[in-house]
Structure 1
Amino acid sequence: MIAMQYSFTLPVDYDMEIIDRRIRDKGPMFDGFPRLRFKAYLSARKQNDSFASAENLYAPFYLWENPKGLSDFLASPGFAALTRDYGWPTVRTWMVWHAELGSDFCKARFASREITPIAPYSDLASRRNEAVAFAEAAVRGGALAAVAAFDPTGWTMVRFRLWETPPTTERDTVQTYTVGHISLPKMPS
């Protein structure tokens, strides 16, 4: 599996209802996209009473079965329309160490993402074992889903979680989002 996220930073006075409407209108169109485990349509608001973000963001997070799904999406008319509307984003990708998806993760209304550096010469087998334990513990602790993955190009690790209620976090390295829609693969009939 491979995780992917791009993010658009929007002006402080941007009408975030435009993003909410885009998610409502376009979200269901992505349901059943080939090789997709899930796509979480995420946004964050600078002016938010519950959990303020440093910036207004539109930042979908994807979990793909394999790189072909990711490649097919980036070459699709949908991605071309997105870049026409919002610009050419940096697309971050991570190789998945572990994904723990609860049976009702599509009920998520919030998400949290933490990206941390991996120190040079780290014991990657130990880091992977820690990542698996983290994902399993996150779901046992109330997360509806948890993804732990790493990028060997930039040597970073991502911890992504989906929640039904707003998560509590004390670390400023954690970005919290609102989930507007979750797209899932088509279920066999």
Structure 2
Amino acid sequence: MITQGELSGLILAGGQGRRMGGRDKGLEPFAGRPLVAHVIERLEGRVARVMVNANRHLDDYRALADRVIVDAEGGFQGPLMGIYSGLLAAETPWLVVVPCDSPALPDDLVARLVAGIGQADIAVAHDGERLHPVVALMRTRLADDLAVALAAGERKIDRWYARHAWCEVDFSCCPEAFANLNTDDDKRRLEQALLRRAHEESQTP
């Protein structure tokens, strides 16, 4: 079994936020805190170190995470470049990758990815209807192969996964946990849903 000390966490927050008017999505306010702070909570205490992959507002992210890493190559090349940068930076044999815009990820996300990976090199969350490629557990030794893929122009995460032994991990019991926020309307809807859930739970004897 993979232990906490063998795990690093990586939150992908290095995008341009185009669908949010170019704003830095990870720092968007959500339920009174930066969006990324909610995601950090899902990793803290479950991994040896929480890293954020960011390309802007680095000091703001440093105030929240154990370490901030920028893309190994500039130009906002997408999440696969962020994953590569995290694989290079990790000091553990395993890396858990999550996006910065999914504040409702399951509390037991890391434990379930670890339990589900078996002999595979990569485990990817599946919500019962679709795969979530940026919610994954992977071996950090894959960095060299990813460097080769990136150099060849690969930018599709699923195509890179297909080069390796990978598996799905079933999260069909909580598909709503993987809601991600791409627009202001998405943010408002999820804030309201989480407030309703918190209120319902507070009313349960």
Task: Tell me if TM exceeds 0.5.
Answer: no
Q: What's the TM-score once normalised by structure 2's chain length?
A: 0.27
Structure with the higher fraction of residues in strand conformation: 1
TM (norm. structure 1) is 0.28
Greater helix fraction, Structure 1 or Structure 2 = 2
